[in-house]
Amino acid sequence: MMDFWIILTGTLVAATCGILGCFLVLRKMAMVGDAISHSVLPGIAIAFLLGGSRDSVLMLFGAAVLGLITVVLIQLLQRSGLQSDASIGIVFTALFAIGVILISRNAQHIDLDLDCVLFGEIAYVPWDSLIWNGYNLGPVAIWMLGGTFLIVLITIALFYKQFKICAFDPALAAALGIPVALFHYLLMGLVSLSTVASFESVGAILVVGMLIVPAATAYLLTDRLGLMLLYSVIIGAISSTGGYYMAKLFDASIAGSMITVCGILFVLTFLFSPSHGLISRWTKRQQMRGGNLNQVI
């Protein structure tokens, strides 16, 4: 059962992040996901200080607020003329630093381990069960991640066409009367939510891997957005399962192994993808060259 809970947790994180990651990658905003995942730290710390306990809902709320503040700040800096990558770098490191100070200053009062926030500890997931009326309903993390996954899935399914057109052609979307800014912040809100829900299990840093790598891998495998979403979920699930057993084999960090497997899948796809892979492109080029040569002869 232990194995199952851990793998399920990893898969839920990967699936949630994979879906959102596709839109981040397509909108060339992958690094905004990175920024959010870091800058939620002060939100978590403040929620912790206020609540005095690891109350998940309060932490979720604090982090989600910080996530949105991050996005707004980045956009403010960009609009005032700063480059987008510089704006992202300034905002998230500054907020992250504040979070680090908050946690280290209050380390004696609060039981919040910085290592745990940064790298997560998915192995502890099965121990923290949700008890309701004396019944053990399974790990808290599963409920939280499952809920987040459902929220993301339903939102994306309901507004699929809006998210799609906002990613492809925001100008037309706006001209058609689709509230582009609303969907931008909705996407960012979902990213914040998923990041926070995931940080306890895979950590604030590795969640970035789950946001970007499965989506980037899926991007290399298909020319259809719908399939890209599906593939990124499948790749995430394979990474979680594979990563868990790899961690067992090498007695290593589970979350680290999951992202490593994900990275290996990306490299394999990058090399061997039938449509966009390095090798298939190379052979196509060779064939074309050969064909041309034959025509000449």
AA identity, residue 62: G
Tell which one of 174, 230, 238, 264 touches another protein (CB under 8 A). Answer: 174
Query: Are 17 and 258 a contacting pair, CB within 8 Å?
Result: no
Give every CB contact of residue 155 below 8 A, 6+ residues apart in sequence: 186, 190
Compute the distance between CA of residue 258 and CA of residue 209 in angstroms, rounded to an integer: 9
What residues from 15 to 34 belong to the interface with another protein (CB under 8 A)?
26, 28
State the Cα–Cα distance between residues 196 and 36, nearest whole angstrom.
Answer: 9
Interaction between residue 285 and another protein (CB under 8 A) = no
Tell me the longest C-alpha to C-alpha distance in the chain. 83
Query: In this chain, which of 76, 172, 268, 288 binds another protein, going by CB under 8 A?
Result: 172
Asked if 262 and 210 touch (Cβ cutoff 8 Å), the reply is: yes
224 versus 249: smaller Cβ distance to another protein = 224
- Which listed residue (178, 230, 234, 238) binds another protein by CB under 8 A? 178
Enclosing H/E stretch for 212 = helix 180-219
Residues 61-100 that bind another protein (CB under 8 A): 81
Which of these segments, 83-91, 139-147, 168-176, 259-267, binds another protein (CB under 8 A)? 168-176
| Matching residue, tokens 């939510």 | 193
Considering only residues 177, 249, 293, 297, which one is a binding residue for another protein as defined by CB under 8 A?
A: 177
Q: Given candidates 1, 131, 171, 293, which one binds another protein under the rule CB under 8 A?
A: 171
SS3 (DSSP) at 105: helix
Which range touches another protein (CB under 8 A), out of 6-14, 142-150, 165-173, 257-265? 165-173
Tokens of 178: 């689709």
Q: Which of residues 217-236 bind another protein (CB under 8 A)?
A: 219, 222-225, 227-228
Q: What is the CA radius of gyration of the chain?
A: 21
Which of the ranges 9-17, 125-133, 157-165, 288-296 carries the binding residues for another protein, by CB under 8 A?
157-165
Interacting residues toward another protein by CB under 8 A = 26, 28, 81, 158-162, 164-165, 167-169, 171-178, 219, 222-225, 227-228
